Structure 1
């Protein structure tokens, strides 16, 4: 699933190119996770003012209203002056005066939803429960500490839930926990101040590096200009079960937490 780095990389790959464009036509294919919420033709003539990100959502601000885009489990966006003929897994296309933006989503768990503004019911329902943005100044150590102290859940589960901090997906949570020396099964509220500070720093470090590396291409992710991500090639523990830790040579282990695999070094990471 595309996480914060992949969504941010996607945003950066087409935001400048589409800014200021006028919508010429809107095509909607097979139903996605949620309906568009307006007649496609009602968007024609509106101007794209810019592209923002909130958690794993892309927000296309229009001169009237906004479009919220989610890439689901396997979706990706393509933006170009001309696009190839639509395929069976293409489900939404926005043709503008500056190029076309197309959503390709084989599993159709993605979505494009129209809202009048961020406090409108569709937008509030989708965005209202998200926690702090880890790459913003609002992600303070004090707020992070308070959130962890209020939770008895395993730290990995807290990071994945997104209610305290958004976008720390499976690969990035595993890597941040390794850098901070914390096992994924450790109870969140048991972490002391020094460990919380290390984890806070590691989250920012890992996500920033992931954006710099173009995200992670584990299966089929690519940005809107077709570029693949390379963060996964330098992972310390993620997907390295049975291989030696780069730091201490202990064999990396894997444990199932919920429906997700958590990777850790039994020597470098402690409860």
Structure 2
């Protein structure tokens, strides 16, 4: 075989190899895509430990007070550790009041005050933080470390958000509780509805409607782009059933970014928990 023939054969092999690699990439299954997104995005999710003092009163009885410690998931949205959560996880006061109304308990009252916030990182370290801002209408709360972190946090990109269409697949990344050693977990779901007015909201499938376990967790498309976080919409009255008045949604990145823009810079923050309800 001549030198020219060897060269032609070599070129053909290179072209075939490139085509085969491209075909392999295109043939990647949705599950394989989801696994890749999970592994590359899971560290944008943190566990947030909250200590909350609550006061309850109902039916003319004297108020009762108790302190509770709870954990919830949050999604880090910038290198400073600014984290967005579902307000329902941070302060369910408004939600409880709405639920009480559906039961005819109009004189039910609850007040809460967040006394301690700690971000539990993947490496086992604990970072003291503060609640900086709450948006009851969007069910969003923002927290951030009280001091500038030594190392930047891994975070989602709010500037390159995805806008999924009906029936597109979504990957929710969550962090389990202490009993599961705060292991990262994932759930695949689909967009089963899109609300467009007064603002865009994505409605996940039945699996996420039946549980609030993913509240505050990020949703990604299978190409790894951030969509938003799991939150709750509530429209509850005495005549509204829970299955019609409560809805799990994905709050889009654009709405998160609009509210996050109101968070003061780290240097000028005061020692506040963002107010109590």
TM score, norm. by length of structure 2: 0.22
More strand by share: 2
Rg larger in 1 or in 2? 2
TM score, norm. by length of structure 1: 0.23
